[in-house]
């Protein structure tokens, strides 16, 4: 009996190792990339560069948050990239044309832009969700159509050109820091304060960029919603087995509409963040980010068939993509290789997941 248990334990050990590697490969790959880029890329392992990585991944991650809910529910949203661009155009127009930015306080200017941008995104999300849930049109077709509509609307309202946002202080807000550090005064929240001299200001070190702060807040909220609330439970149930969810009394149609509404709203929020970071709105602002947002979810362990995935996994996926892109730039490698590298990582993620599934079975 003891020999049988010993043999069984030794047989299961390789399976457990493979299962662990299948779950943790993204973490291990990320660690390997950090080590490689730190050795080969000058300035990679520095506070400023890590802040750049965090600020750059913020927009990708905010888009990927909504995509996580959609993919776990067994769907796909191909419209998020141009919904983001359309929202950035509407946000820019609202902040510059619909109000007087010279007399309106900056927080109110940002609020107006956020309402306009997210409002435009919500319309796209409601249409996506209604067509998918009520008319049973495949998500691929609906969101592909919405991609074209959002793209056309963004270029139509912007005249095919970037919309400048000439609002004083907006760039500093989008590229500023929540936390500063000074050798004498320690950590300081928000503004360094008018009482500091020029020498003191030069010694201030920004710690936590505003885009990264917003991303962290949204990650925590979405993680709580997905893992601790009925909304998250319904999302997993619908993605795991839609018919069983219907029999269990879950309002599948209403929940599906809510998921696509959430996805478009978060993409629109990323568009307004783009306004704040780059002080303009562009219809094609999120064109290249659609692949990255889906890749982050897949790399993070979500199943394209639905029912599996986590916000933390998506966070690791987004961080992995941001590190790859940043490292290749520091190494002065042709930027087009970034697309190839991300594509390879997506395929690798799928292969690892399939291999783990076969071993576990």
By residue range, what is the domain housing residue 148?
Answer: 40-356
- Domain contains 316: yes
- Domain contains 34: no
- pLDDT for the residue 202: 57
- pLDDT for the residue 51: 87
| Total number of domains constituting the chain | 1
Per-residue pLDDT tens over the stretch 186-233: 666 655 555 555 555 556 667 788 899 999 999 999 999 999 999 999
Distance CA 27, CA 299 (A): 10
- Domain contains 232: yes
- pLDDT for the residue 9: 52
Going by their DSSP bridges, the two strands 177-182 and 163-164 should be labelled as unpaired
Phi, psi of 128 (to 5 degrees): -55, -50
- Domain contains 211: yes
- Domain contains 132: yes
Rounded to the nearest 10°, the torsion over CA 323, 326, 332, 335 is: 100
- Domain contains 21: no
- Report CA-CA distances (Å) from 305 to 143, 210, 222, 227, 359: 17, 35, 21, 19, 19
Strand order across the 186-189 sheet: 186-189, 177-182, 205-209
pTM of the predicted model as reported, rounded to 2 decimal places: 0.89
- Domain contains 284: yes
Distance CA 316, CA 312 (A): 6
- pLDDT for the residue 7: 47
Q: 138: alpha, beta or left, given left = phi > 0 and alpha = psi -120 to 50?
A: beta
* Sequence-separated (6 or more) residues with CB below 8 Å from residue 164: 92, 96, 279, 280
DSSP H helices, 105-251, are 106-133, 139-158, 170-175, 198-203, 210-228, 230-240, 242-247
User: In 10 A of CB 319, how many CB atoms?
Assistant: 23
Low-confidence ranges of the chain (pLDDT < 50): 5, 7-8
- pLDDT for the residue 272: 95
- pLDDT for the residue 249: 92
- pLDDT for the residue 83: 97
- pLDDT for the residue 350: 79
Burial 26-63 (b: 16+ CB within 10 A, else e): beebbeebbeebeeebeebeeeebebbbbbbbbbbbbb
- Domain contains 139: yes
Going by their DSSP bridges, the two strands 280-281 and 205-209 should be labelled as unpaired
């Amino acid at each position: 009996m003891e020999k049988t248990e010993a043999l069984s334990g030794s047989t299961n050990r390789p399976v457990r190792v493979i299962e662990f590697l299948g779950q943790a490969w993204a973490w291990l790959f990320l660690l390997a990339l950090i080590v490689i880029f730190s050795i080969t890329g000058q300035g990679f392992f520095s506070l400023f560069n890590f802040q750049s990585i965090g600020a750059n991944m913020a927009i990708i991650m905010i888009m990927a948050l909504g995509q996580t809910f959609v993919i776990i529910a067994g769907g796909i949203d191909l419209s998020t990239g141009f919904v983001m661009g359309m929202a950035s155009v509407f946000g820019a127009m609202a902040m510059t044309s619909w109000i007087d930015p010279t007399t309106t306080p900056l927080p109110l200017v940002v609020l107006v832009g956020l309402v306009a941008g997210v409002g435009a995104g919500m319309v796209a999300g409601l249409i996506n969700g209604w067509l998918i849930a009520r008319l049973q049109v495949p998500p691929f077709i609906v969101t592909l159509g919405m991609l074209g509509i959002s793209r056309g609307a963004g270029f139509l309202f912007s005249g095919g050109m970037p919309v400048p946002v000439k609002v004083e202080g907006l760039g500093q807000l989008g590229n500023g820091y929540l936390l500063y550090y000074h050798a004498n005064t320690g950590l300081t929240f928000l503004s360094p304060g008018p009482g500091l001299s020029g020498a003191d200001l030069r010694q201030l070190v920004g710690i936590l960029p505003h885009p990264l702060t917003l991303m962290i807040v949204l990650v925590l909220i979405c993680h709580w919603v997905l893992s601790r609330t009925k909304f998250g439970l319904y999302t997993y149930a619908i993605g795991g087995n839609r018919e069983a969810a219907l029999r269990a009394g879950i309002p599948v149609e209403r929940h599906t509409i809510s998921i696509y509404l959430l996805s478009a709203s978060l993409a629109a929020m990323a568009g307004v963040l783009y306004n704040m970071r780059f002080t303009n709105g562009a219809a094609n602002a999120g064109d290249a980010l659609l692949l990255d947002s889906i890749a982050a979810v897949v790399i993070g362990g979500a199943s394209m068939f639905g029912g599996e995935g986590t916000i933390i996994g998506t966070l690791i996926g987004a961080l992995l993509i941001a590190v790859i892109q940043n490292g290749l730039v520091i190494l002065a490698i042709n930027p087009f290789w970034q697309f190839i590298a991300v594509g390879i990582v997506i395929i690798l993620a799928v292969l690892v997941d399939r291999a783990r599934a076969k071993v576990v079975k």
